[in-house]
A and B are shown apart, each in its own frame.
Chain A
Amino acid sequence: MNYMPGTASLIEDIDKKHLVLLRDGRTLIGFLRSIDQFANLVLHETVERIHVGKKYGDIPRGIFIIRGENVVLLGEIDLEKESDTVLQPVSIEEILEDQRCQQQAKQEAERMKLQVLKERGLFVPRADTLDEY
């Protein structure tokens, strides 16, 4: 049944596999089971997918209830196309390790940048780290 044509309504997405990007940068993949008027989501068989470079790792998380305001975007996953991807799945430990390295490198770069700017007398106010995506 066509619920609310011409609008972006999540009702038709129920029971389908979705990829949800959160404001803190996490990527969750799961079956959308329930919604409400605030677009709070109930994800089932959720998997948190961490991407580092061309590799990714899945951490199974179970059932997630996501407060709607924390969702950046979400989209349905085509189950057929899901498998043809250039990305390489790796184990959880490996991806976490990779992620740690990546974060470290980023922080280093950030620090260096701030340092250099400071030398030149330019101060960049630290952005409010609310939205990390």
Chain B
Amino acid sequence: MFRFQSLDEDCTLEEEEGLVEEEDEIDQFNDDTFGAGAIDDDWQEEHARLAELDERVRDGGVSLPPTVPPAAAASSLQPSAPPPGLEERGGGDLAESLARLILGADPAIAGVGAAGLPARAELPPQRKALSEALPARPPSLLGYHQQQLRMGTAPLQVNSRSIWESVGFGPVGVTPALGPRMEDSSLLSIIKEVGLPKQPPPMRSDERRDLSERVPPPRSSSPVIGSPPVRAVPIGTPPKQPLSHMLNQQIHCPTAVHVRAPIQHRYAHPFPERLSPNTLLNITNSPLCRPPFPGGVGPVLSQIQRAQLLSSQVGAFPRAGPAPPLLPGGAGGFRPFFGQHPPRVGPHIPPNHGPIRHNTTHLHPQHRRLLTQRLQSRGDRGGRGGERRIRDPYSNLMTQREKEWVARIQMMQLQSTDPYLDDYYYQNYYEKMEKKQERDRDSSSKKEHTTKLITPQVAKLEHTYRPVQFAGSLGKLTVSSVNNPRKMIDAVVTSRSDDEEKREKQVWNKRRQILYTVEKMYSLLLEVQDFEKKFIQTPEEQREALLEQHKTHTIQLYNTLREKEWDDRVSDEQCLMIMSVRKGKRLVSRLLPFLPPPQAAAVVMAIARNLPALAKKDKQDQVLCWLVEPVSVVVQALSSSALTDLLQELQGNEGQLPRVLQNKFGVTLLYLILSEGERMQSSDANCQLMDDNRWTELVFSVTRKLLEVPPASLSPPLFTPPNLLSLFSRYVDRQRLELLQEKLQISALSR
């Protein structure tokens, strides 16, 4: 399936650009698709090397040999003409020395097992060597890359020979970095330009393979032979090589360097290139062009490590190694960074993620502070825990960028315009936790904040889809998407004018209307109920507005219940309608606590008045008892006259009371009223209950009825208030009292 293309094949695009050289002909398509690794079975070598690496790791690691990559693909990669004379000779040696430099410089890379003191001790002398050998270094960098290419791991892109030419071989790091927005292509092109013509030093089979070049082949986007890779970056693709992106933004080099915009954009590599050369160059640039500890340093390093198959210690390398060689090159724009190196090079043994400043914009400010504290503490502790981690050569395969990318996607899914609506339980949970912490904090003086995930809040945008319509054409074009699913039928509502149907419908309509009213009231009620929570959450300025809103809602709620004409009288009909629905009853029971007292009383009156009807309708649902609690609260708050009124309402016309007594709720309500009256009487000596005879009369009639009613039709109440006995004892004689007691099972000690 592989197309074994030699590099001598034409790349038409390059030719178009007119920048191609004979020797740099490669099959762009193939390489972009399969990577240069498809050539000459490099992948097999790669694999072998990988396997060997395993052994090496097990052996405890050895200082990697200076250079010489396998010359596997050497021949095929060798174009004929040498590049403009700069690195010709030095290529091989430079490659060697550079590799040595890089490998040796980084304590982490220097050896897996031996990545202890010896490596670190090596570092300063190496750096010294570096600084001395500066002039010679830059080319070696290229040479190294060239070797990478020859290894076939780097997808060879269009070369940008021109860059080199114009610069006259300036500092290595600059030019490739100056390359275009595209990822590594520029670097590679430069590498290619520079490195290809040379004959790579043959890899001796007995020599230890340079594991520094072992790099996983780049992923390709399109598996189809012959077709160019997918141009647009699919949504699901991991992020690109982090630094290449940054390189383009941060180059301060003068424009003397011809910034070439090759074809890279056509062959956008959606996947990060795990290339040593690239990462090397990135590293060389990153410390120079950015403030210390950029976020990308970690992942870049990790790639190098991976390429070098060494420990995951991020650290000294980026700052120490390549910077010195690049300094002298300074075609402007490089800040003298070298001086800052030493402090950073140190026994930093950060954990896997390193002391990286992640994007913490979406976190709570306190959270951020806590994080930095944690990082520091972990950094201190990292030294001890580092032993274990040193031995994991495969760590950080997933770069920091990728992790953030996944996290970002997950955060996107949490976007919410109304967190209380979408994630009610999390919000509540967090509030509870905070309260608990407050409490705990008060007891113990330690201050600790648990972290909270602050989800991105997105403004709600209403997008109405207007179908595209062309003038003079029939119909509308519909483009369906996730947010705008396709309408199957253009349905239009037409009302039918059949009389009979109308009448039938009226019945249904009424019920629907009731349900609709109930639903509307419910949403209002929920708003009212959530008011308190919202109140706590909103800042001071907005609280008044919220309060106003709250009041409006409450009024609205009541308005739905009351009569149209009279302000203070609750509409019986409306109430009845609402209460005929199960949900309506529930609604009223939840609503009562929020109504102001007079209105609540009015509602209870209405209930009492219509109790028989309600009871009848409730036969199926049996949910009237939900009302007991709120009603009892209301009853207990009533004035004596209101109470009397209520009792009167309950009794209503002749014959109502027995029906009331048949219903559990009715009995309970009656008891509540009576007990409240009794409480009033017994507690307050001069209560107004006795002012007129109404109360007494009413109680008399009640007792009479209670005695009359056969026990079978007397429903047991939900609970029996204890003071009923004393009430009855006031009004009835002993005999009757006993009868009552028996009937109602009120014992003197009942509770």
Q: How far is the CA of A16 from the CA of B512 in the complex (A)?
A: 58
> Is B430 within 8 A of A6, CB to CB?
yes
> Is A15 within 8 A of B395, CB to CB?
yes
> Is A7 within 8 A of B356, CB to CB?
no
User: Interface readout for B392-420 with A: 1 if CB under 8 Å, 0 if not?
Assistant: 10111110001100110111000000000
Which of B24-32, B445-453, B709-717 forms part of the interface with chain A? B445-453
Q: How far is the CA of A41 from the CA of B331 in the complex (A)?
A: 46
> Is B352 within 8 A of A15, CB to CB?
yes
How distant is B377 from chain A, measured CB to nearest CB, in Å? Answer: 13
A33: chain B residues within 8 A (beta carbon): 394, 397-398
> Is B356 within 8 A of A35, CB to CB?
no
Known: A2-B374, A5-B453, A36-B406. A44 touches B394 (CB 8 A): yes
How distant is B375 from chain A, measured CB to nearest CB, in Å? Answer: 7
Q: How far is the CA of A70 from the CA of B453 in the complex (A)?
A: 28
Those of A70-115 within 8 Å (CB) of chain B: none
> Is B406 within 8 A of A2, CB to CB?
no
Is residue A21 within 8 Å, beta carbon to beta carbon, of the partner chain?
no
| Chain A residue at minimum C-beta to C-beta distance from B392 | A15
Q: How far is the CA of A2 from the CA of B404 in the complex (A)?
A: 11
- Residue of B358, B398, B450, B453 near A1 (CB, 8 A) is B358
Q: How far is the CA of A36 from the CA of B234 in the complex (A)?
A: 14
Is residue B365 within 8 Å, beta carbon to beta carbon, of the partner chain?
no
How distant is A108 from chain B, measured CB to nearest CB, in Å? Answer: 44
Those of A1-25 within 8 Å (CB) of chain B: 1-7, 9, 11, 14-15
> Is B410 within 8 A of A1, CB to CB?
no
A35: chain B residues within 8 A (beta carbon): 398, 406
Is residue B511 within 8 Å, beta carbon to beta carbon, of the partner chain?
no
Is residue B344 within 8 Å, beta carbon to beta carbon, of the partner chain?
no
| Chain B residue at minimum C-beta to C-beta distance from A10 | B406
Is residue B744 within 8 Å, beta carbon to beta carbon, of the partner chain?
no
B398: chain A residues within 8 A (beta carbon): 14, 33-35
User: Interface readout for A20-55 with B: 1 if CB under 8 Å, 0 if not?
Assistant: 000000000001011111000010100000000000
Those of B433-469 within 8 Å (CB) of chain A: 450-453
B358: chain A residues within 8 A (beta carbon): 1
How distant is B160 from chain A, measured CB to nearest CB, in Å? Answer: 32
Is residue B731 within 8 Å, beta carbon to beta carbon, of the partner chain?
no
Q: How far is the CA of A11 from the CA of B403 in the complex (A)?
A: 6
Known: A1-B371, A11-B406, A37-B410. A6 touches B452 (CB 8 A): yes
**Dominant secondary structure at the B interface:** loop
> Is B403 within 8 A of A3, CB to CB?
yes
> Is A4 within 8 A of B426, CB to CB?
no
> Is B453 within 8 A of A4, CB to CB?
yes
Q: How far is the CA of A33 from the CA of B397 in the complex (A)?
A: 6
| Chain B residue at minimum C-beta to C-beta distance from A34 | B398
Q: How far is the CA of A9 from the CA of B739 in the complex (A)?
A: 70
Is residue B219 within 8 Å, beta carbon to beta carbon, of the partner chain?
no
State the interface size on chain B (CB cutoff 8 A).
29
A42: chain B residues within 8 A (beta carbon): 397
User: Interface readout for B633-665 with A: 1 if CB under 8 Å, 0 if not?
Assistant: 000000000000000000000000000000000
How distant is B357 from chain A, measured CB to nearest CB, in Å? Answer: 9
Q: Which of B352, B406, B451 has the most CB of A within 10 A?
A: B406
> Is B452 within 8 A of A37, CB to CB?
no
How distant is B743 from chain A, measured CB to nearest CB, in Å? Answer: 54
User: Interface readout for B309-353 with A: 1 if CB under 8 Å, 0 if not?
Assistant: 000000000000000000000000000000000000000000011
> Is B395 within 8 A of A3, CB to CB?
no
Is residue B236 within 8 Å, beta carbon to beta carbon, of the partner chain?
yes
Q: How far is the CA of A9 from the CA of B236 in the complex (A)?
A: 18
Known: A34-B402, A35-B406, A37-B410. A5 touches B395 (CB 8 A): no
> Is B411 within 8 A of A4, CB to CB?
yes
Q: How far is the CA of A3 from the CA of B405 in the complex (A)?
A: 11
> Is B375 within 8 A of A1, CB to CB?
yes
Those of B348-396 within 8 Å (CB) of chain A: 352-353, 356, 358, 367, 371, 374-375, 392, 394-396
Q: How far is the CA of A73 from the CA of B32 in the complex (A)?
A: 38
> Is A5 within 8 A of B397, CB to CB?
no
| Chain A residue at minimum C-beta to C-beta distance from B378 | A1
Q: Which of B367, B375, B397, B426 has the most CB of A within 10 A?
A: B397
> Is B453 within 8 A of A7, CB to CB?
yes
> Is B410 within 8 A of A9, CB to CB?
yes
> Is A6 within 8 A of B426, CB to CB?
yes
User: Interface readout for B208-231 with A: 1 if CB under 8 Å, 0 if not?
Assistant: 000000000000000000000000
A31: chain B residues within 8 A (beta carbon): 392, 394
Q: How far is the CA of A64 from the CA of B430 in the complex (A)?
A: 37
- Residue of B375, B410, B453 near A6 (CB, 8 A) is B453
How distant is B239 from chain A, measured CB to nearest CB, in Å? Answer: 12
Q: Which of A1, A2, A34 has the most CB of B within 10 A?
A: A1
A2: chain B residues within 8 A (beta carbon): 367, 371, 374, 451
Q: List 24 A-B contacts (CB under 8 A).
A: A1-B371, A1-B375, A2-B367, A2-B374, A2-B451, A4-B411, A5-B450, A6-B426, A6-B451, A6-B452, A6-B453, A7-B410, A11-B403, A14-B352, A15-B352, A15-B394, A31-B394, A33-B398, A35-B398, A36-B238, A36-B406, A37-B406, A37-B409, A44-B394
Interchain residue pairs A-B with the least CB separation, the first 6: A5-B451, A37-B409, A34-B398, A6-B453, A15-B395, A33-B397
Interface residues of A, Cβ cutoff 8 Å to B: 1-7, 9, 11, 14-15, 31, 33-37, 42, 44
Q: A15-B395, A44-B397 are in contact. List 10 more A-B contacts (CB 8 A).
A: A1-B353, A1-B375, A3-B403, A3-B407, A6-B426, A6-B430, A7-B410, A33-B397, A36-B236, A44-B394
Interface residues of B, Cβ cutoff 8 Å to A: 236, 238, 352-353, 356, 358, 367, 371, 374-375, 392, 394-398, 402-403, 406-407, 409-411, 426, 430, 450-453
